[in-house]
Amino acid sequence: MDANGHSLRDQIAVVTGGGQSLGLEIGRALKTAGAKVVVAEINAETGEQAAEELEGDFVQVDVTDPESVRDMVGAVLDRHGKIDVLVNNAGVVHNIPSEEVPDEEWRKVMSVNLDGVFWCCREAGKAMLERGSGAIVNVASMSGVISNHPQPQSAYNASKAGVIMLTKSLAGEWASRGVRVNAVSPGYIRTPLTELGMSKEEWSRVWLESTPLGRLAEPDEIAPAVVFLASDAASYATGTNLLVDGGYTSW
């Protein structure tokens, strides 16, 4: 282990939604820290490409389906015998005025962003609790702490607030049994989805003016926070929600 405890050498790290964007960047950071990365992704094409780049494994999973999650965890355990780190990164968003949100759209956001995080925590958590060690990092959002504007996204905000409270609840339950559970809450990150929002002048102006650093984050500015919470450098941190938002929530 390196001097500051950030090494993940010989650890097995599972990243959901790990095939692209922030998930891929998290996988890169975990690999650099020494972990063997398992890309857990619904998209076989991007998942396999990411696994090849990371010299890791790909396991297809639909996080909204508890059976699929059980199969994914079982496949990782069959292959590697353990899960040291779980990063719940898979997520979706829509920007629909709340009074117009169709039932199925609300359920879709909740199914991926909140239900999926719980299914993955529950199944990987069982294996971690049996071994008496493990670290879970849930990718929440500053949207779980504040209500974004001017875009409408009540479902996303509610789902991420749920992830933060789920993180705290699991941390309290599992701390005495060797499993730490933390969350990283990014602000606006430069991703294809955010670039679409940035193309709308009304949105981009408010986003940047509301962020003290005055810019979007790059994905590689968020990934190190995940590595920190996954590593022994954060051995006394559990139930933490680490905001990495360019100062957005400081105003």
How high is the pLDDT of residue 193? 79
Quick one: what percent of the chain has pLDDT higher than 90? Answer: 95
What's the pLDDT tens digit per position in 157-214? 999 999 999 999 999 999 999 999 999 999 999 988 798 899 999 999 999 999 999 9
Res 2 pLDDT > 90: no
How high is the pLDDT of residue 81? 98
Quick one: what percent of the chain has pLDDT higher than 70? Answer: 98
What's the pLDDT tens digit per position in 203-245? 999 999 999 999 999 999 999 999 999 999 999 999 999 999 9
Residue 86: strand pairing partners: 14, 136
How high is the pLDDT of residue 4? 57
- CA dist., res. 154 & res. 27, Å (int): 29
Catalytic residue numbers, as ranges: 156
Mean pLDDT on 1-10: 76
| Cβ atoms < 10 Å from Cβ of 156 | 22
Give the contacts of 206 (CB within 8 A, at least 6 positions apart).
149, 150
What CATH architecture does domain 12-189+219-243 belong to? 3-Layer(aba) Sandwich (3.40)
Domain range annotation of the chain: 12-189+219-243
Give the contacts of 11 (CB within 8 A, at least 6 positions apart).
34, 35, 36, 84, 85
Closest CA to 138 of 240, 6, 24, 11: 240
How much is the mean pLDDT over the chain? 96
Mean pLDDT on 65-79: 98
pLDDT category, 101, cuts 50, 70, 90? Answer: very high
- CA dist., res. 127 & res. 124, Å (int): 5
